[in-house]
Structure 1
Amino acid sequence: MSFGRPVRLSRRTSLNERTRETNTMTGTDWTTDAQGTGQYAEVNGLNMYYETYGSGRPLILLHGGLGSNEMFGPVIPALTEGRQVIAPDLQGHGRTADIDRPIDIRLMADDIAALIDHLGLEKPDVVGYSLGGGTALMTAAKYPEKVGRLVAASIYLRPDAVDPALRAMQGQVNAAAAEFMKDTPMYQLYQRVAPRPEDFGRLLDKLGAVMAEDYDYTEDVRGLQVPTLIIGADADQAPPSHYAEIFKLLDGGLRDGGWMNEGRPKGGHALAILPGVTHYNIFSSPLLAATILTFLTQES
């Protein structure tokens, strides 16, 4: 899965340019008009911070790598219309301090399942972007009885789904990159809210380690038992064809849908490619919120 945009270490002279580019793409204004309540929950040895917004059917919202629940600030007001949004900070991110284990979407899925139990939620919908999208996917794959619907945005199944140049950049993610990220919103947010701001380099090391691993989540997707929406940007880290490949694993795109939807995927799955956005701003796009809500409110 993808985690964010790495910073090149090999070109010091381009640092200011890269910083401005990162700020533009990720957006420094992640504020929201929604009023939330922040709390902590002890789950799997993790003191997990989460914020709750609104009321209604619960939706768990999972942020991307090097971010926190603040990433969704611009879209939370839309998502809370008639719904309760629960937005945790994942292991080592935001206000949730790291613990002695790898950053691993399978382990973080266990955290989300434990949070569902802790809050006594009845099959909430689970929505995630990038690292959070992988965690959401794995939560549904491992705990289908705990999840209503799944939305996974800006994920990919294998490292070879992305451009080799991007893979090379991801290989540079480590603690040494912290110095080059001090002017980015990710670094500044972490310094502002993290229980141990000095752990930013440790987080980079852990994310770099997991991105260096080989992986293939094909069978996890193929085995999904809950209605699933796959979302990609039309200029995402993986090409639109990869999201179509994921959809095909879910019985999608194989036949005409039919006048009465009789040819649609049997599990109620769907695919959306959002126009005019990238991996680095899809999470704050009004298109994302509208697409999520359309899927979550439709009949299977």
Structure 2
Amino acid sequence: MTKIEIQKEFHLHIGDSGKGEAVILLHGFCGSNQYWSDVVPQLQQQYRVITPDLRGHGKSAAPKGAYTIEQMADDIIALADRLELDKFVLIGHSLGGYVTLSVAQRFAHRLHGFGLIHSTGYADSEQAKENRLKAVERIQSQGIVQFVDELVPKLFNPDKLEEHKASVHRALEIGYHTPPQGAIGAALAMREREDRTAVMTATKLPLLLVAGDKDQVVPAERLFTTEGPHVSQILLSEVGHMGMMEKPEEMAQVIGRFMESCPQH
């Protein structure tokens, strides 16, 4: 694990392992790069796997105030610059998917391909925007631990909570370490994000879309909005919003096959 200074007094904490073509994996809200810890060992056998903690999450810097998705995307481009990555594959889970779409919209020339895991190109509905503000209020009034206690169990397949008890516990522990100001900043970024379904429709790059059939947060129909010969739609069975923890081996295989489909030049 490495701390990379992106700009003065702002750093991202990253994992960086393996050799070969680079793939950057982005985690979701109140997560960290540890969300990917069961997927990385399989991928790093063939690829260079870079897993940042997003702005405001994990061990990365957590400035106060509202963030924007564009700002978080700029962080990833700045990170790629620091790592001297001219081109790479970018795959984002949930919040990380929103960041990925912003990169794809503005920096497509830097990508071999991109993917969304349990994410969507749609903007927040009015109800969802209201819920973001309620989330901010809960974090401010009750603290991050109680907020994460309510959030995390909803991310897993409700029928398999006992089976995934260890993963749920790990996701809770990861969430507890989210700086409160980081969670607030990211919640406000998600609330204000624009609709980027057109980015998915217009791209000619290889596009990976992975949904879970038991996802209570982002149902498959909110992700599978684009079709084409360059689009891979994968529906994981008996999986909620946390495929990288619920079925890590299958997730690694899906990402590995997608990497093979991306032209590396």
* TM-score, length of structure 1 as denominator length: 0.70
Question: Which residue of structure 1 aligns with residue 252 of structure 2?
Answer: 289
Question: Which residue of structure 2 aligns with residue 159 of structure 1?
Answer: 124
**C-alpha displacement of 1:138:** 1.5
* Corresponding pairs, count: 236
**C-alpha displacement of 1:242:** 2.3
Question: Which residue of structure 2 aligns with residue 66 of structure 1?
Answer: 30
Query: SS of 1:159's equivalent?
Result: coil
Structure showing greater relative contact order (alpha-carbon pairs closer than 8 Å, 6 or more residues apart): 2
Q: Equivalent of 1:47, from 4, 8, 11?
A: 11
Q: Equivalent of 1:272, from 223, 234, 251?
A: 234
Q: Distance in 1 between matches of 2:86 and 2:11?
A: 22
Q: Give runs of aligned pairs for residues 124-135 of structure 1, distance below 5 A.
A: 124-135=88-99
**C-alpha displacement of 1:186:** 5.4
Name the larger-Rg structure: 1
User: Does the CA contact (< 8 Å) of 1:46 and 1:91 recur in 2?
Assistant: no
Q: Equivalent of 2:146, from 153, 158, 180?
A: 180
List per-residue Cα deviations over 1:150-183 (Å, max 9, x = no partner): 111111213349xx6x777555312224251476
Q: Distance in 1 between matches of 2:66 and 2:117?
A: 22
Q: Distance in 2 between matches of 1:91 and 1:234?
A: 29
Q: Distance in 2 between matches of 1:221 and 1:84?
A: 25
User: Does the CA contact (< 8 Å) of 1:141 and 1:223 recur in 2?
Assistant: no
- What amino acid sits opposite 1:295 in the alignment? F
List per-residue Cα deviations over 1:79-114 (Å, max 9, x = no partner): 112111011111011111112553322111111111
User: Does the CA contact (< 8 Å) of 2:23 and 2:48 recur in 1?
Assistant: yes
Q: Distance in 1 between matches of 2:190 and 2:131?
A: 10
* TM-score, length of structure 2 as denominator length: 0.78
Query: Does 2:101 correspond to 1:121?
Result: no
Provide closer, same or farther for how the CA distance between residues 220 and 298 of structure 1 changes in structure 2, counting only shifts above 3 A: closer
Structure 2 unaligned runs (5+)? 150-168
Question: Which residue of structure 2 aligns with residue 207 of structure 1?
Answer: 186
Q: Equivalent of 1:226, from 205, 210, 225?
A: 205
Query: SS of 2:66's equivalent?
Result: coil
User: Does the CA contact (< 8 Å) of 1:173 and 1:207 recur in 2?
Assistant: no
Question: Which residue of structure 2 aligns with residue 142 of structure 1?
Answer: 106
User: Does the CA contact (< 8 Å) of 1:102 and 1:206 recur in 2?
Assistant: yes
Query: Does 2:91 correspond to 1:112?
Result: no
Q: C-alpha root-mean-square deviation of aligned residues, in Å?
A: 2.7
Provide closer, same or farther for how the CA distance between residues 102 and 188 of structure 1 changes in structure 2, counting only shifts above 3 A: same
List per-residue Cα deviations over 1:29-59 (Å, max 9, x = no partner): xxxxxxxx42323248631111111111111
Provide closer, same or farther for how the CA distance between residues 55 and 135 of structure 1 changes in structure 2, counting only shifts above 3 A: same
User: Does the CA contact (< 8 Å) of 2:207 and 2:232 recur in 1?
Assistant: yes
Q: Distance in 1 between matches of 2:182 and 2:262?
A: 40
Q: Distance in 2 between matches of 1:94 and 1:133?
A: 17
Query: SS of 1:278's equivalent?
Result: coil
Structure 1 unaligned runs (5+)? 1-36, 195-199, 253-264
Provide closer, same or farther for how the CA distance between residues 45 and 273 of structure 1 changes in structure 2, counting only shifts above 3 A: farther
User: Does the CA contact (< 8 Å) of 2:18 and 2:47 recur in 1?
Assistant: yes
Q: Equivalent of 1:243, from 211, 218, 223?
A: 223
List per-residue Cα deviations over 1:173-196 (Å, max 9, x = no partner): 12224251476755643666x7xx
Q: Distance in 2 between matches of 1:202 and 1:61?
A: 23
